[in-house]
Amino acid sequence: MPGNSFGQLFRITTFGESHGAGIGVVIDGCPAGLEIDTEAVQQELNRRRPGQSEITSPRNEKDEVEFLSGLFEGKSTGAPLAMFIRNQDQRPGDYRHLQEGWRPGHADFTYDQKYGFRDHRGGGRSSARETAARVMAGAVAKQLLAKQHIHIAAYVSSVADIHVQAPYTSLDLSTTESTMVRCPEADTAARMIQLIEKVRDEGDTVGGIITCVAFGAPAGLGEPVFHKLQADLAGAMLSINAAKGFEIGSGFKGTEMRGSQHNDQFAAEVDPAGHPRFRTLTNHSGGIQGGISNGADIVFRVAFKPVSTLLQTQESVDKEGKTVNLEGKGRHDPCVLPRAVPIVEAMCALVLTDHLLLNRNARV
């Protein structure tokens, strides 16, 4: 299957370029009868759109979603749900100089190698603008998850070497949106913003880490062997532009623990009806054991490299092998993290929704 679809039963296909007609997505497999809050889809897009704050790209796209199909009297019909946003604030002239040399850290060189040529306007299909399609689809997935009382909350847990110190369980995640850097630890957020502004003024960029938590997922999601829940999450996250790493639960740090420390001990309580209810006393596993959710919070982290587009002159080469100097132009983000928060949430929502549907067939 070609690369522009994601998911098995709740399956999305995205299309569009940063400087073409627009960006769209088709969801195939949304169960019928879901009341779709189209305004909520728009709000998720607003969280991702450029120009939303002083620390994001000044490109000014309204990103207004149009529903092209699949809705009837406000409900999903079982038919494909197509959504589209027309591009508006295009300035292809900004990119004319990019015909020449390959921008370091970008997909210019590899697209040329793979396809023989490329749409050089703003990166074409490799532009992060493509992620708007994911956010639209993810917004629908979130509504389906909400009916099962599953909620997803991501936040920026580090920018460069400024890290949130508290575990997520000590944070008030409802405050994430209150800072423009989407970090729920107020003083850390302030330092992050300060750093991003400094870096922006230097024409440089900076990376960081997003932590994502899914609350309320029932035990049983995930398909052995190759579609373990963490495998699908990892694939989803590493498909996001600029993502360089993924870890679930204890992650890389867990490699330094002993098994006797790392194992999450099971405990049982009795619910009001007299039935046993199970949980683990710790959550090093990140809510997934043997590839299947265990009912605990699903917790993972995603690393993002610093944005490749600089407002500095960079040396590169062109197709003929000649050295060229690329001027830093265009409108870009000094730090992708704040706008990546809704993208991480969207991809998480898509994975969980897909597994919710897959899991309906676990038993006879």
Which residues within the stretch 318-357 sit at the binding site for a copy of itself (CB under 8 A)?
319-323, 357
- Our finding on whether 178 is near a copy of itself (CB under 8 A) is no
* Binding positions for a copy of itself, 84-143, rule CB under 8 A: 84, 101-102, 104-111, 113-119, 124-126, 130
- At closest approach, how far in Å is the CB of 151 from a copy of itself? 17
* Binding positions for a copy of itself, 260-299, rule CB under 8 A: 260-270, 276-278, 280, 284-286, 288-295
Residues 85, 66: contact at Cβ < 8 Å? yes
- Our finding on whether 198 is near a copy of itself (CB under 8 A) is no
Please state the three-class secondary structure of 82-144 as a single string: EEEEECCCCCHHHHHHHHCECCCCCCHHHHHHHHCCCCCHHHHHHCHHHHHHHHHHHHHHHHH
Distances (CA, A) of 4 to 7, 12, 214, 239, 335: 10, 8, 25, 11, 26
- At closest approach, how far in Å is the CB of 246 from a copy of itself? 5
* Of 66 and 327, CB closest to a copy of itself: 66
- Of the candidates 350, 346, 341, 340, which has an alpha carbon nearest to the alpha carbon of residue 135? 346
- Our finding on whether 36 is near a copy of itself (CB under 8 A) is no
With H, G, I as helix, E, B as strand and everything else as coil, classify residue 16.
Answer: strand
What is the C-alpha to C-alpha distance for residues 145 and 348, in angstroms, rounded to an integer?
11
* Of 21 and 186, CB closest to a copy of itself: 21
10 Å CB burial of residue 133 (0-12, 13-18, 19+) is buried
- Our finding on whether 8 is near a copy of itself (CB under 8 A) is yes
Total of chain residues touching a copy of itself, rule CB under 8 A: 161
* Of 174 and 275, CB closest to a copy of itself: 275
- Our finding on whether 39 is near a copy of itself (CB under 8 A) is no
- Our finding on whether 62 is near a copy of itself (CB under 8 A) is no
